[in-house]
Amino acid sequence: MKQRDRHLPITLVGIALASTLATTAVADPTGRSLRVLHVMSYHAGWEWNRDQLAGFKEAMGDLAVEYRVLEMDTKRDGSEANKVRSGNEARQLVDAWKPDLVYTNDDNAQLYFAKDYVGAATPFVFSGVNAEPGTYGYTGRDNVTGVLEQEHGLQTVRLLRQIVPDLRRIAIIVDSGATWPGVVERLRASLAGEADIEIAAVDTIHTFAEYKERVLGYQGKVDAIGILGVFSYTDASGARVPYEEVLRWTAENSTLPDFSFWGDRVELGTLCAVRVSGLAQGRAAGEMARAILADGRAPSSIPIAPTVKGEPMVSLARARKLGLAIPSGILLNAKVVKGFRWDS
């Protein structure tokens, strides 16, 4: 994965609030606009989701398309009940609206909705998916193709090493989300050739108190922390703690360099990332959808693949707080975040 909550005008939550956006250009042979249902795992106010949809629509070009968007909103409400409920709403919308194509992004939309349509007549295109396609039964199936979100793990660690030359031992922190096992395994694989880099621990954290204890316990014991899953931590009352609060606490209390793979983390105090481009993910998915709808290609004839474009990012504010100098070569070639989002 992908950021403030500025919502798109086509946002909907649930079928009753469905809204549409139509374009006026090349329609299908019957003269009507093509129908594309977009089911996002998260929410339309998040930059990651906005960029994917914008890239998708850009690639669809002059096709006349009527869009409906359903937000599963599973970042802000990660409860099982919400995931099941929103997946059911998406299925009801498919049955009621009968889209020509369904575009889904990120893993929860696959797990709680799209995987149930493997082998159906309706074509499905995904983006932002971290798990292997076989996890959802997509491998070799006729009606599904899409774009994998494969993090730039090796590039990120090498970027961090330019800032912290003595980097050796890394701890990884994740939450209990379904995304993270695949992310961690890909990171392990990408670092296999880096003989002097060790992943010293991988911790799955459930509460904010546990997170604080673990981060403070790592001070002086590892050289850096990979802060990946931070979305489902709860406080003493059982309420979910916003990930922005988790990252702000980290920036204010940890003296260890940290990294992640998403741009919003750098804005929220994480030292560096080589982020996956949401626009590139959406464009690639849109190109697949256009080939299916305009050119008549079968989804199975379009290989499932990741995007390769990454963007290095560094937090100058975090570097200063840690007493680290960012090499000039990085400053010239990376997106530099000069302050913390909460100071703006």
| pLDDT at 234 (0 to 100) | 95
Name the stretches of the chain with pLDDT < 70.
1-31
What CATH number corresponds to the domain at position 173? 3.40.50.2300
Whether residues 231 and 184 fall in one domain: yes
- Residue 4 inside a domain? The answer is no
- Residue 1 inside a domain? The answer is no
Whether residues 157 and 126 fall in one domain: no
| pLDDT at 310 (0 to 100) | 86
Strand partners, 114: none
Whether residues 65 and 199 fall in one domain: no
Whether residues 323 and 179 fall in one domain: yes
How would DSSP label each residue in 23-72?
--SB--TTSSPEEEEEEESS-TTSHHHHHHHHHHHHHHTTB-EEEEEEE-
Whether residues 302 and 319 fall in one domain: no
| pLDDT at 13 (0 to 100) | 34
| pLDDT at 35 (0 to 100) | 98
| Cα torsion angle, 314, 58, 305, 74, sign | positive
Tokens 């042979």 sit at which residue? 29
Whether residues 53 and 177 fall in one domain: no
Decide: helix, strand or coil at residue 103: strand
- Report the distance separating Cα 172 and Cα 152, nearest Å: 15
Q: What's the order of all strands across the beta sheet hosting 34-40?
A: 20-22, 65-71, 34-40, 101-105, 124-129, 144-148, 305-306
- Residue 105 inside a domain? The answer is yes
* Domain count along the chain: 2
| pLDDT at 330 (0 to 100) | 95
The contacts of residue 83 (CB under 8 Å, 6+ apart) are 72, 74, 108, 111, 112
Tokens 């990946």 sit at which residue? 228
| pLDDT at 18 (0 to 100) | 37
Whether residues 173 and 197 fall in one domain: yes
- Residue 23 inside a domain? The answer is yes
Whether residues 260 and 160 fall in one domain: yes
| pLDDT at 256 (0 to 100) | 98
- Residue 96 inside a domain? The answer is yes
- Report the distance separating Cα 168 and Cα 148, nearest Å: 29
| pLDDT at 225 (0 to 100) | 98
| pLDDT at 21 (0 to 100) | 38
| pLDDT at 78 (0 to 100) | 86
170-206 in b/e burial notation, b at 16+ Cβ within 10 A?
Answer: bbbbbbebbbbebbbebbeebbeeeeebebeebbebe
pTM over 0.85: no
Domain limits for position 33: 15-149+278-306
Whether residues 139 and 180 fall in one domain: no
Whether residues 109 and 130 fall in one domain: yes
Whether residues 134 and 283 fall in one domain: yes
